[in-house]
């Protein structure tokens, strides 16, 4: 059990996050610069350029916010526009199969929850290591705190 990460631990696609936030900042800067360099634009048109750049940055920032946070009592999955808190006992299985865009958590209620915070996009080996660490944590926590059988 010494190979388990120390809790709390946050899993997130760091490379993807850097790319998205950098692209968002660059897009905002370029659009804002263009708005002020174009002479014939009215103040309202300039403002619409700046707001468009801000909206594009905000969308990319939403895409970059994904993460999975594991602590002593459970896991918090933060996806693009949602956040869900799970107890360790609710996680039946952690899956990252070849070709999957991100980790899926199979839950005790029979559903599956995508965890976009672990995705093999740019850094495949890092995502595989994160998925294995989360799986090991889930297995260790469920073995320590077994849920009584239902039914």
- What confidence tens digit (pLDDT) does each residue in 99-128 have? 999 999 999 999 999 999 999 888 889 999
Q: What is the reported pLDDT for 4?
A: 85
What's the CA angle centered on 149, arms 93 and 74, to 5 degrees?
45
**DSSP code of residue 89:** G
Q: What is the reported pLDDT for 121?
A: 81
The Cα–Cα gap between 51 and 34 comes to 13
Q: Specify the length of the chain in residues.
A: 151
Give tens-digit pLDDT for 28-50: 999 999 999 999 999 999 999 99
Q: Is the pLDDT of residue 16 over 50?
A: yes
Q: What is the reported pLDDT for 58?
A: 98
The SS3 of residue 101 is coil
Report whether 77 contacts 83 (CB < 8 A).
Answer: yes
The Cα–Cα gap between 63 and 60 comes to 5
Q: In the chain, where does DSSP find H-type helix?
A: 14-37, 43-64, 124-144
Q: Is the pLDDT of residue 66 over 50?
A: yes
Average pLDDT, the chain: 92
Lowest-confidence segment of 17-21, 137-141, 146-150 by average pLDDT: 146-150
Report whether 137 contacts 73 (CB < 8 A).
Answer: no
Residue with token string 């946050």: 10
Question: What are the C-alpha distances in Å from 27 to residues 50, 58, 65?
Answer: 10, 11, 18
And the tokens for 107? Answer: 């839950």
Q: What is the reported pLDDT for 48?
A: 97
Q: What is the reported pLDDT for 1?
A: 47
**DSSP code of residue 79:** -
CA atoms within 13 A on the CB side of 114: 10
pTM, rounded to two decimals: 0.82
């Amino acid at each position: 059990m010494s190979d388990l990460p120390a809790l709390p631990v946050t899993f997130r696609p760091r490379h993807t996050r850097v790319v998205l936030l950098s692209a968002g900042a660059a897009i905002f800067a370029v659009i804002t610069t263009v708005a002020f360099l174009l002479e014939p634009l009215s103040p309202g048109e300039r403002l619409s350029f700046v707001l468009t750049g801000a909206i594009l940055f905000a969308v990319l920032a939403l895409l970059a916010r994904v993460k999975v946070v594991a602590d002593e009592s459970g896991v918090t999955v933060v996806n693009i526009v949602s956040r869900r808190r799970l107890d360790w006992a609710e996680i039946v299985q952690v899956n990252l199969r070849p070709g999957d865009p991100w980790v899926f958590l199979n839950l005790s209620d029979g559903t599956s929850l995508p965890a976009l915070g672990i995705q093999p996009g740019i850094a495949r080996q890092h995502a595989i290591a994160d998925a294995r660490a989360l799986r090991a944590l889930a297995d260790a926590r469920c073995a320590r705190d077994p849920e009584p059988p239902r039914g």
